[in-house]
Chains A and B, each alone.
Chain A
Amino acid sequence: MRGNYIFMKMTGAEIFVECLKREGVKHIFGYPGGVILNIFDLLYDDKDIQLILTRHEQGAVHAADGYARSTGKPGVVLVTSGPGATNTVTGLATASMDSIPIVVFSGQVPTMLIGNDAFQEADIVGISRPCTKYNYLAKDARDLSRIVRESFHVAMTGRPGPVLIDLPKDVTASKAEFTWPEITIRSYNPTYEGNKWMINQAAQLIAKSKKAVIVAGGGVILSGGARELKELAEITDIPVTMTLMGLGSFPGSHTLSLGMPGMHGTYYANKAIQESDLLIAVGMRFDDRVTGKIDAFAPHAKIIHIDIDPTSIRKNVRVDVPIVGDVKRVLMVLNKVLKEDIKEQWEAVRNAWLKQIDAWKKERPMTYTYSDEVIKPQFVVEKIYELTKGDAIISTEVGQNQMWAAQFYKFDKPRMWLTSGGLGTMGYGFPAAIGAQLAHPNKLVIDIAGDGSIQMNIQELATAVINKLPVKVAILNNHYLGMVRQWQELFFNERYSYTHLEVVPDFVKIAEAYGAVGLRAIKPSEVEPVLKEAFKIKKTVFMDFQVHWKEKVYPMVPAGAPIDQMLFEEQKEKTEKKLKAVK
């Protein structure tokens, strides 16, 4: 016997659970299986950590993602090897595109079997490499604490993102001494402080500009810089447009708010960008849905780009003043410079510009044609906003439901808006809402869904009901894959190739079958009573809103067009002709 046997030895599984506790983990989303049983067995009677059993691993990852987005804390997932692990890939890619910190632990076959095509073996480290920020294969129980610590560190710092750790069965079974080492990763040093000289340059440009616009993205929320952003906008009197990921980074009800830019953005946001002489891009990455035709984007503007990820800068657009750093810290310095060194009479400078923007707002407000015969989906979103007074956590699926939610719900605070922006993952919203509800038991959490998307993770009804999570799902049911149908109508000669979903299933009965509550509204007058009832019930509720099937998301910039070439709802096309087509 060697001398060290007198030290406390723990199994890899015990080390793992201890590490999670030290990282402050209270909730895990997961699904068990053969090779991860060592850990599941420990969680069975653990008092500090609660595991939420989802009905699909994809649901677990999205739930962890919703948990992370709504709290700012990392979401944690525990699944088994093979299919358990591969089922997490969509969730990882979703989190990766939107820079969301989640940590996924997957079981793996014993190290001696790796590479042998063992039962339920998948090379998840290889598979997940391009859709994680980093990933690990733990080969030795002695490395576990370092790896767990590093993975949380990597997920949460710099530009956040998902991390996956593969845990072979023998590693969780073998014994090692518990350590809690300080970690340093020599090749990972995110830049937080912006270059002072560059910040001064930015301040000079801001002072000189007459027609500036701030474009705020998800990075503002991730860095916790919403207050600083508001301060910047208010000292300089510069209007703010928020990207899909940036909704909530600046109050949507603020007079300086322009709403969302881009493909389905507001007329005035796109106009302002195209006419501006200065764009201040904060924590955003010039996605093609924001820029439209890149060569025609903001043709007269100088661009200041603040982002923690250097690869985001000059990836899609030319940049005049690049500032690599944490949005919050950079804005704090920038605001200080603007206040102390540049004593501009901002109001006088911006007056004409703000007047112009007001004129655009009046010319083409964000609106739709109300009907009292059929439910307009925008009306449902508007009512949700009205009844919740903006104080609900809203998740969405992907497609028309997502765009209407973004257009007609005003987000005044960060972390109230959960949507798959980058990857556009259908089936994201419901599990994300479950994760958010778990983290915020007393908040109203609503998934604004479509009848297509909701069916992609509808099995999570069981998770919501069993865990008594009173998530509300508002299904804007048009019996179509609406966004694709809209493209077919506008660009494919109304050839609705495989987008009609028929009137299946009965969402009310599905909800009831799972022990949730199902409500239905067919007429516009039923919308408000249904919503009110749903919000009153302390249970999971599915609301089936039978909406006008032909309603489209407007305005719309066709893919590849400049963002000021927008299509608007044709006023004459509305009412009778369209309404008759409704079944």
Chain B
Amino acid sequence: MRHTISLLVENKFGVLSRIAGLFSGRGYNIESLSVGETIDPQISTMTIVTSGDDQIIEQINKQLNKLIDVIKVIDMTELDHVEREMVLIKVTPKHENKAEVLRLAEIFRGRIVDSSQHTYTVEITGDEKKIEALIELLKPMGIKEFVRTGKIAIAREGTKKS
């Protein structure tokens, strides 16, 4: 099963490598990873999406906790939480599809952040389903390139384990 794990870590060099090394060394999979400073510049937050059976996820959580630079491990999947990811999609629509791209971007509350004679770059933020849906719709019009930030997640306030 897929899990979104949020980590609070010391914001110092080598930490990312320790975490990446833990996953690669033990054969765990990282589906996405995003890192950023928190409000306290000495602490970073990392959001890792990984998958595995219950035993593997338990090991991942424990192994992460064991790393000395990791301050806190939260398995978001066990909590009611909000997940978001941002994607930039460069589309190359034929002339007759250009309006459709704009329309889709609007429906999905995306924005056009760059345009050229033959391309539009759409920015979209949302959860996985929404992003996958837009990508599916844009595919037939020709996606030249897309980049995604990786997921970030935050627990909803005042809720308990679901």
Asked, given contacts A129-B14, A129-B17, A129-B18, whether A310 binds B71 with beta carbons under 8 Å apart, the answer is no
Stretch at the interface among B62-70, B76-84, B93-101: B62-70
The reply to whether B21 and A187 form a contact with Cβ atoms under 8 Å apart is: no
Are B62 and A310 within 8 A (Cβ)? yes
**Residues on the B chain within 8 Å of A186, using CB:** 71
A129 and B17 alpha carbons, distance in the complex (Å) = 9
Q: Are A130 and B25 interface neighbours, CB within 8 A?
A: yes
Q: Is A154 a contact of B68 with CB atoms below 8 Å?
A: yes
How far, in whole Å, are A126 and B20 apart by their CA atoms in the complex? 12
Any B CB within 8 A of the CB of A44? no
A311 and B63 within 8 A (CB): yes
Q: How distant is B89 from chain A, measured CB to nearest CB, in Å?
A: 36
Q: Are B66 and A310 in contact (CB under 8 A)?
A: yes
CB of B59 closer than 8 Å to a CB of A: yes
B136 located at the interface, meaning its Cβ lies under 8 Å from any Cβ of chain A in the complex = no
Contacts of A129 in B (CB 8 A): 14, 17-18, 21
Q: Is B55 in the interface zone, CB < 8 Å from A?
A: yes
Interface size counted on chain A using CB atoms at 8 A: 17
B62–A311 CB distance below 8 A: yes
Distance A185 CA – B58 CA, assembled complex (angstroms): 24
Q: Does A385 reach chain B (CB closer than 8 Å)?
A: no
Report the minimal beta-carbon distance from B16 to chain A, rounded to whole angstroms: 11
The answer to whether A125 has its CB under 8 Å from any CB of chain B is: yes
B17 in contact with A126 (CB, 8 Å): yes
- Nearest-neighbour CB distance to chain B for A102, whole angstroms, equals 16
Distance in angstroms between the alpha carbons of A130 and B67 in the assembled complex: 11
Instruction: Say yes or no: A185 contacts B66, CB within 8 Å.
Output: no
Q: Which residue of B lies closest to A139 (CB)?
A: B13
- Once the chains bind, are A187 and B59 in contact (CB under 8 Å)? no
- Which of these, A125, A309, A315, contacts B14 with CB under 8 Å? A125
User: CB-CB < 8 A to B123: which residues of A?
Assistant: none
Is the CB of A188 closer than 8 A to any CB of chain B?
A: yes
Instruction: Contact check, B55 vs A314: say whether CB atoms are below 8 A apart.
Output: yes
- Beta-carbon contacts under 8 Å, B1-45 to A: 9-10, 13-14, 17-18, 21, 25
Measured in the bound complex, the distance between the Cα atoms of B71 and A187 in whole Å is 4
Any B CB within 8 A of the CB of A134: yes
Chain A residues whose C-beta falls within 8 Å of the C-beta of B18 in the assembled complex: 129
Complex: A315 Cα to B61 Cα, angstroms: 12
With beta carbons under 8 angstroms apart, the residue of A126, A154, A185, A310 that contacts B65 is: A310
Complex Cα distance, B13 from A466, in Å, reads 42
Provide the residues of chain A in CB contact with B10, threshold 8 Å: 187
Return the contact of B66 from the options A126, A130, A309, A314 (Cβ within 8 A): A309
Bound-state Cα–Cα, A134 to B14, Å: 11
B18, chain A: closest CB distance, angstroms: 6
Kindly provide the distance from the CB of B117 to the nearest chain A CB, expressed in whole angstroms: 43
- Chain A, residue nearest B22 (CB): A130
A185's nearest neighbour on chain B, judged by CB, is B68
A92-141 at interface with B (beta carbon < 8 Å) = 125-126, 129-130, 133-134, 137
Cα separation A154 to B65 with both chains bound (whole Å): 15
- Alpha-carbon distance between A129 and B22 when the two chains are bound, in angstroms: 10
Contact B21 A311 (CB under 8 A): no
A188, B14: Cβ atoms closer than 8 Å: no
Q: Which residues from B are CB-within-8-Å of A137?
A: 13-14
Contacts of B63 in A (CB 8 A): 311
Tell me which residues across on chain A come within 8 A of B14, comparing CB atoms: 125, 129, 137
A-contact 0/1 string along B111-154, CB 8 Å cutoff = 00000000000000000000000000000000000000000000
Q: A129-B18, A130-B25 are in contact. List 5 more A-B contacts (CB 8 A).
A: A125-B14, A129-B14, A187-B10, A310-B65, A311-B62
10 nearest interchain CB pairs? A187-B71, A311-B62, A310-B62, A134-B68, A188-B68, A130-B25, A311-B63, A311-B66, A130-B21, A129-B21
Q: Taking beta carbons and an 8 Å cutoff, which residues of B are in contact with A?
A: 9-10, 13-14, 17-18, 21, 25, 55, 58-59, 62-63, 65-66, 68-72
Identify 22 residue pairs between A and B in the complex whose beta-carbon atoms are under 8 Å apart, listed by A's number. Answer: A126-B17, A129-B17, A129-B18, A129-B21, A130-B21, A130-B25, A133-B68, A134-B68, A137-B13, A137-B14, A154-B68, A185-B68, A187-B10, A187-B70, A187-B71, A188-B68, A310-B65, A311-B63, A311-B66, A314-B55, A314-B59, A315-B59
